[in-house]
Amino acid sequence: MNPLRSLARRDHDLAALRRAARTAIVMPAMFALGDKVIGNPNVATFAAFGSFAMLLLVGFTGPMRQRLQAQAALAVVGAVFVCLGTLASANAWLAAAAMAVVGFGVLFAGVVSSVLAAATTSLLLAFILPVAVAAPPSAIPARLAGWGLASGASFLAVWLLWPQPTSDPLRQPATVACRAVAARLRSDVAYALGTGSEAAAAEHEQAALAARDTVDALHRGFLATPYRPTGLSTSTRAVVRLVDELSWLDTILAQSRPLADDPELNHAACAVKSASAAVLEHGADQLDAPGSSQQMLDLALGGLREFAANDRLEQFVLGVEISIERALGHARDARDVVHARAIEPGA
C-alpha cells in the first residue's frame, strides 16, 4: 500500500503533515536566527515558540486571502498578549489573575467563529509564555522582536510553503442550495403557467424535493459543526446569514399556491419568482467566483425590485397579512374565553 495514500486517509488534505513540516523548517531557523545571529535569548525564545504557536497549533481554512488576514490578526493580538503577559509577570498574584481573565476571554471568544476557535491555543500560548517567565518591562522590545520574526516567517510559510488547498464548509453547499432553490422557483412558474399535465406536476414535485434536500443538507452541515463555520469578514458572515434565508425561502415556497382565481396576480407573482430565481443564480455565481464582476447580479436585483413593486400584488399580500392577524386575534380571544371559563368556580 502507498504510505502517502494511507496517511491521506487518516489526515484529511494532509493538514497535520503540512503544519508539522512547516514548523520543522521554520522553528529551528528562527531559533538559530535569534540565538546565533542576533545573539539575544529573549528574541530566540519568542521567535521559536511564536513559530510553534502560529504554524503548528493553528490551521485556518478558506481562501488564501482570508487565511493571510487571519494569520496577520493572530500576530497582532499575540503581540498585545506578549506585552500584557510581560507586564503581569512581575507579580505572581497579578500573573495568576491575568491568566484567568485572558484564558476565559480567549476560550469564550471561540464560540463566535471557527477562526477564533482555531486560534485559541495559539493565543493562549502567546500569553502563557511571557506571563510564566518573569521579566521586567524592559524585556518587552526583545520579546516583541522575537514574536515579530515568528509572525513574518509564519505568514510567508502559510503563503508560500506548501499552501493548503482552499476549503470552505459553507460556501459550496450554499452555492448548490441557491441553484436548487432557483430551479424550484422556475419550476413553480412553469407549473403555475402551464397546462397542469402529469409530467409538469412530476417535474415540479421533483424540483421541490431537490430544493428541500439541498437546503436541509446545508442547514445540517451548519449545525453539525461545534463552532460557527465562518470567518470574521463581512463576506463570510453573510454566507452564515444565507443559511437561514434559504431555509426561510424554502419554507415559504412550500406553503405558496398559484392564485388561480386572479390570473393577473398570478402572473405578477410568477414574474417575482422568475426574478428571484435570476438573483439566486447570479448569487450562486458570485459564491463560486467571489472576485468576479457583480454587474449581472445588480441587474437581476434591479429587475426583482421592479417586479416586486407591483401595487396590486403588494395590496394582495397586505390583505392576506391583515386577514391572518385578524384570524389569530380571534383565535387568541376565543382561547382566552376558554381559559377564563375553565378557571371559574364550579367549572
Domain identity same for 188 and 106: no
- Residue 335 is assigned to a structural domain of this protein: no
Domain identity same for 88 and 193: no
Contacts of residue 276, defined as CB under 8 A and 6 or more positions apart, other chains included, come to: 182, 185, 304
Domain identity same for 143 and 187: no
Boundary-marking domain end, from 98, 128, 160 = 160
- Residue 184 is assigned to a structural domain of this protein: yes
Boundary-marking domain end, from 111, 132, 160 = 160
- CA distances from residue 132 to 48, 84, 103, 151, 189 in whole angstroms, order as listed: 16, 12, 14, 21, 67
- Helix crossing, 64-88 with 114-132: angle to 10°? 30
Average pLDDT in the 253-260 region?
67
Looking at the structure of the chain, the number of domains it has is 2
Average pLDDT in the 268-274 region?
80
Domain identity same for 62 and 203: no
Boundary-marking domain end, from 104, 135, 160 = 160
- Residue 329 is assigned to a structural domain of this protein: no
Predicted pLDDT at 41: 92
Domain identity same for 261 and 286: yes
Domain identity same for 177 and 269: yes
- Structural domain range at position 205: 172-309
- Residue 165 is assigned to a structural domain of this protein: no
Predicted pLDDT at 1: 52
Domain identity same for 299 and 214: yes
Longest dimension (CA), the chain: 95
- Residue 148 is assigned to a structural domain of this protein: yes
Q: Which of 159, 151, 206 has the alpha carbon at shortest distance from 18?
A: 159
Q: What are the backbone dihedrals phi and psi of residue 110, each rounded to the nearest 5 degrees, phi first?
A: -65, -20
Cα–Cα–Cα angle for 308, 213, 210, rounded to 5 degrees? 65
Predicted pLDDT at 143: 95
User: 164-214, pLDDT tens digit by residue?
Assistant: 776 667 778 888 888 999 898 888 888 877 755 677 778 888 888 888 889
> Are the C-beta atoms of 235 and 184 separated by less than 8 Å?
no
Domain identity same for 155 and 186: no
More confidently predicted of 153 and 292: 153
Domain identity same for 71 and 49: yes
Domain identity same for 263 and 207: yes
Task: Using pLDDT thresholds of 50, 70 and 90, give the confidence band for residue 145.
Answer: very high
User: 122-141, pLDDT tens digit by residue?
Assistant: 999 999 999 999 999 999 99
- Residue 330 is assigned to a structural domain of this protein: no
Domain identity same for 266 and 153: no
If one counts every other C-beta atom within 10 angstroms of the C-beta of residue 294, the result is 13
Predicted pLDDT at 334: 46
Domain identity same for 149 and 40: yes
- Residue 37 is assigned to a structural domain of this protein: yes
- CA distances from residue 147 to 39, 165, 208, 222 in whole angstroms, order as listed: 15, 27, 55, 35
- Residue 199 is assigned to a structural domain of this protein: yes
Phi-psi region of 257 (alpha: psi -120 to 50; beta: other; left: phi over 0): beta
User: 76-100, pLDDT tens digit by residue?
Assistant: 999 999 999 999 998 999 999 999 9
